[in-house]
Amino acid sequence: MPNQQKILHTLKEYFGYDSFRPLQEKIINSVFDGMDNLVIMPTGGGKSICYQLPALLLPGITLVISPLIALMKDQVDGLIANGVQASFINSSQSENDQQKIHQKLKDNQIKLLYVAPESLSFLDTIFSEIEISLIAIDEAHCISSWGHDFRPAYTQLGYLKNKFPKVPLIALTATADKATRQDICDQLNIPDATQHLASFDRKNLSLEVRPGNKRIEQILNFLVNKPNDSGIIYCLSRKTTETLAEKLKDKGYKAEAYHAGIEHQKRANVQEGFINDTVQIVCATIAFGMGIDKSNVRWVIHYNLPKNIEGYYQEIGRAGRDGIPSSTLLFHSYADVVQLQKFADTSGNKEVQLAKLDRMQQYAESLSCRRKILLSYFGELIEKDCGNCDVCKNPPTFIDGTIIAQKALSTVTRIKEQEPIGTIIDVLRGAQNAIVLDKGYQEVKTYGIGNDIAWRDWQQYIIQLINQGYLEIAFHQNNKLKLTALSRKVLFEGERVSLAHLKELEKTKQVILDQSKKGSTPNLFEKLRQLRLELAKEAGIPAYQVFNDATLKEMEKVRPMTDEEFMQINGVGRQKMQNYGYQFIKEIINFSAKKTKKKKSSKKGNTHKETLALYKEGMSIEEIAIKRQLAQSTIFSHIMKLYNEGEQIDLTQFVNKQDVLAIKKAKKELEQPEGLKSYFEHFNGTIDYNSIRLALIILEKENSVVK
């Protein structure tokens, strides 16, 4: 097992991070120990590093099973941008391409190989010739029919453990419910895997629920202080996505609809526009978002009630993956509930679905901290209210609900935890309906003790008790209400319970103006963002794969002006430093120079001329950098600029001759190379972007001379 220092060094060199997020380190150590692991982390929690980092340090190949081809390509591009040898195999590739990958695998030139489960058979013929060090199964809940996204192709994955009994397996998912978890381990034949359950708390996401009336008006209101921020609006129907996008377009927003019925190319364009920040808002059915890894989504709105909490949490989780504060808003309406109940009617597993819908509705109607409810759904208790949800920001007033709680809990006890919420209320209120009378509940001691409270109010109170953990619903047993460890405290240990005053209900439901005002729009940030977009286009990758927003924000704050300072920024690894360092540093220096321009009587704009003077004195780039106290990459950019302006500079001294020849050859071989990236990939990252850029300039010059 590599030592901690080596592991941390690799984290910085390849991924640019200085430290691990909670659990990452523990999981990675467990992988190095050769154990099987199940990782449960929310979307954006940082699952990928848990297998990508070990992959770099293990001797052989890490096989990554992933369900979505689009996501696969994205991840591979991201890894290559970080200087990691990665590739994927799927059915859309030509046989020739696959042959090439096979060869690379045999030559040990690939550290991570992404495969869809359907395509595993492509590897059968070469499994015996390659060394597999680790198998990672992403979106592992797809193997379980308990989960919400079952995929039949995943069920074959159980054979992997039999075929490679010595190879450690790591399964990763954002679905936390207990039944699904154990099912995943059983089906993958790793019943004893260590389970790592990360906190599901995404503190940077604000939570808000509003009644679903005048939704368009509310959305426009919501957007007022988010003029440039990317966001997703999830809708239940395709039609809604289209009408909504149209209305937003009318108001001048760059909005597009996205659903499975839209033609493939158009959909791809919308997705790409969103990734590259040219489309600001996507109005989508749930089909959107799975396959993208855009980290700067600033807000998510649910136009309709989602059908369960897992789905809702995953969807809001697509906001703020970079850790920057982001807003979420859910519209709640009873029409949606009815609609979703109908959907549940037509599909299997109806009872479970309805029960999950109930929980979703309870969340939307909650009067206590919403984050507490969400987290308790995933089995996690937080002590304090979050302060970042609408209920916390505008809290209802509370009454002493101890007696109410005692009445409800003792009724549940007396009917032996055998009934769902409705029957409990009937018993409390002394109803004389068939269920009560057939089962003889009129004999129960608490029968009728709650007849002073209206049925609907009882429902609200019991929901509050569930949300506070005093009761729980057994979804797999006809939604029977069950006691919890906390119930005992109320019944026997004198614990006091406080409940929200129901008259306050209306008040909390009033529209709360969005308070997450953005800080003043930073000028430098916009500049860096623009630069990022240009570089991304040049390299043919999504903008966020150059650097994410959090990294740009840190650059804005710290303003690194040397290579060393730049490398200190969280999110900058060695490869990206080499590829993008000098442009970003240049932008930062330029920006800072402009600001102080008036004060200084400097010959601004001539900085590269100063470099030229020193160059003519025979100094090397390194020496000039030291003399001028600028980054080497900055001096390098001056040289390129001077060359382009026609100065007599011999560029060949800055780039390896062999590299130039290799690039010349590649230029012929690659028909229509698309930007620098084609070259970069062609050489598997062994020739850096600066050298490619230089070589191409040299070759171009050669050409024009020949002509």
**Residue ranges binding Zn ion (CB under 5 A):** 369, 371, 385-386, 389, 392
Task: Provide the minimum distance between the beta carbon of 308 and Zn ion in the complex, in angstroms, as a whole number.
Answer: 21
In whole angstroms, what is the distance from residue 679 CA to residue 689 CA? 9
Widest pairwise Cα distance in the chain: 104
Task: Provide the minimum distance between the beta carbon of 266 and ligand ADP in the complex, in angstroms, as a whole number.
Answer: 27
For residue 691, the partner it binds in Zn ion, ligand ADP, none, with Cβ less than 5 to 8 A by kind, is none
Q: Which residues contact 622 (CB under 8 A, 6 or more apart)?
A: 632
In whole angstroms, what is the distance from residue 681 CA to residue 684 CA? 5
* 21 lies in the binding site for ligand ADP (CB under 6 A): yes
**Among 37-45, 58-66, 114-122, 618-626, which window interacts with ligand ADP (CB under 6 A)?**
37-45
Q: What three-state secondary structure class fits 547? A: coil
Kindly identify the residues of this chain, within the stretch 308-337, that bind ligand ADP according to CB under 6 A: 321-322
String of contacts with ligand ADP for each residue 529-548, x by CB under 6 A: -------------------x
Residues touching ligand ADP, count (CB under 6 A): 17
* Angle CA 322–570–584, to nearest 5: 95
* 271 lies in the binding site for ligand ADP (CB under 6 A): no
Exactly one of 7, 10, 14, 17 binds ligand ADP (CB under 6 A); that residue is 17
String of contacts with ligand ADP for each residue 547-576, x by CB under 6 A: -x----------------------------
Task: Provide the minimum distance between the beta carbon of 7 and ligand ADP in the complex, in angstroms, as a whole number.
Answer: 12
For residue 389, the partner it binds in ligand ADP, Zn ion, none, with Cβ less than 5 to 8 A by kind, is Zn ion
Q: What three-state secondary structure class fits 115? A: strand
In whole angstroms, what is the distance from residue 20 CA to residue 38 CA? 18
The answer to whether 304 and 235 have CB atoms below 8 angstroms apart is yes
What is the distance, to the nearest Å, from the Cα of residue 57 to the centroid of all Cα atoms in its chain?
A: 25
Choice between 297 and 589, CB closer to ligand ADP: 297
Cα dihedral sign, 36-38-43-44: negative
For residue 369, the partner it binds in Zn ion, ligand ADP, none, with Cβ less than 5 to 8 A by kind, is Zn ion
Task: Provide the minimum distance between the beta carbon of 382 and Zn ion in the complex, in angstroms, as a whole number.
Answer: 9
Task: Provide the minimum distance between the beta carbon of 187 and ligand ADP in the complex, in angstroms, as a whole number.
Answer: 21
Extended strands (E) in 116-246: 132-137, 169-173, 194-197, 205-206, 209-211, 231-234
**Among 36-44, 266-274, 364-372, 520-528, which window interacts with ligand ADP (CB under 6 A)?**
36-44
Choice between 215 and 302, CB closer to Zn ion: 302
Task: Provide the minimum distance between the beta carbon of 37 and ligand ADP in the complex, in angstroms, as a whole number.
Answer: 14
**How deeply is 623 buried, as exposed, middle or buried, from its count of CB atoms within 10 A (0-12, 13-18, 19+)?**
middle
List, as own/partner pairs, every contact residues 630-635 make where C-beta atoms lie below 8 angstroms and the sequence separation is at least 24, other chains included: 630/561, 630/562, 630/589, 631/561, 631/562, 631/563, 631/566, 631/581, 631/582, 631/585, 632/563, 633/563, 633/581, 633/582, 633/585, 633/586, 633/690, 634/582, 634/585, 634/586, 634/589, 635/611
- Closest by alpha carbon to 321, among 550, 74, 23? 550
Exactly one of 49, 136, 330, 415 binds ligand ADP (CB under 6 A); that residue is 49
For residue 296, the partner it binds in ligand ADP, Zn ion, none, with Cβ less than 5 to 8 A by kind, is none
Choice between 384 and 707, CB closer to Zn ion: 384
- Closest by alpha carbon to 158, among 42, 36, 75, 35? 36
For residue 392, the partner it binds in ligand ADP, Zn ion, none, with Cβ less than 5 to 8 A by kind, is Zn ion
Q: How far is CA 515 from CA 6, 233, 328, 370, 509, in A?
A: 44, 19, 12, 17, 16
Residue owning tokens 């989602």: 306
Task: Provide the minimum distance between the beta carbon of 571 and ligand ADP in the complex, in angstroms, as a whole number.
Answer: 7
Task: Provide the minimum distance between the beta carbon of 546 and ligand ADP in the complex, in angstroms, as a whole number.
Answer: 12
Q: DSSP characters for 295-308?
A: TT--EEEESS--SS
For residue 41, the partner it binds in Zn ion, ligand ADP, none, with Cβ less than 5 to 8 A by kind, is ligand ADP
Choice between 544 and 615, CB closer to ligand ADP: 544
Other C-beta atoms closer than 10 Å to the C-beta of 347 total 8
Q: Which residues contact 181 (CB under 8 A, 6 or more apart)?
A: 38, 40, 175, 195
* 295 lies in the binding site for ligand ADP (CB under 6 A): yes
What is the distance, to the nearest Å, from the Cα of residue 163 to the centroid of all Cα atoms in its chain?
A: 32
Q: Which residues is 255 bridged to in the sheet?
A: 281
For residue 48, the partner it binds in Zn ion, ligand ADP, none, with Cβ less than 5 to 8 A by kind, is ligand ADP
Task: Provide the minimum distance between the beta carbon of 340 and ligand ADP in the complex, in angstroms, as a whole number.
Answer: 26
For residue 298, the partner it binds in ligand ADP, Zn ion, none, with Cβ less than 5 to 8 A by kind, is none
Exactly one of 139, 277, 293, 336 binds ligand ADP (CB under 6 A); that residue is 293
In whole angstroms, what is the distance from residue 27 CA to residue 74 CA? 24
Choice between 49 and 535, CB closer to ligand ADP: 49
Exactly one of 10, 46, 142, 370 binds ligand ADP (CB under 6 A); that residue is 46
**Among 14-22, 56-64, 252-260, 266-274, which window interacts with ligand ADP (CB under 6 A)?**
14-22
Q: DSSP characters for 488-528?
A: HHHHHS----EEE-GGGHHHHHSPPPP--PPPPPPHHHHHH
Choice between 49 and 663, CB closer to ligand ADP: 49
Task: Provide the minimum distance between the beta carbon of 103 and ligand ADP in the complex, in angstroms, as a whole number.
Answer: 29
Kindly identify the residues of this chain, within the stretch 404-443, that bind ligand ADP according to CB under 6 A: none
In whole angstroms, what is the distance from residue 89 CA to residue 104 CA? 12
Choice between 13 and 385, CB closer to ligand ADP: 13
For residue 43, the partner it binds in ligand ADP, Zn ion, none, with Cβ less than 5 to 8 A by kind, is ligand ADP
- Closest by alpha carbon to 541, among 89, 76, 64, 44? 76
Task: Provide the minimum distance between the beta carbon of 357 and ligand ADP in the complex, in angstroms, as a whole number.
Answer: 25
**How deeply is 165 buried, as exposed, middle or buried, from its count of CB atoms within 10 A (0-12, 13-18, 19+)?**
exposed
Exactly one of 7, 28, 41, 555 binds ligand ADP (CB under 6 A); that residue is 41
Task: Provide the minimum distance between the beta carbon of 340 and Zn ion in the complex, in angstroms, as a whole number.
Answer: 25
In whole angstroms, what is the distance from residue 523 CA to residue 564 CA? 24
Binding site for ligand ADP (CB under 6 A): 17, 20-21, 24, 41, 43-49, 293, 295, 321-322, 548
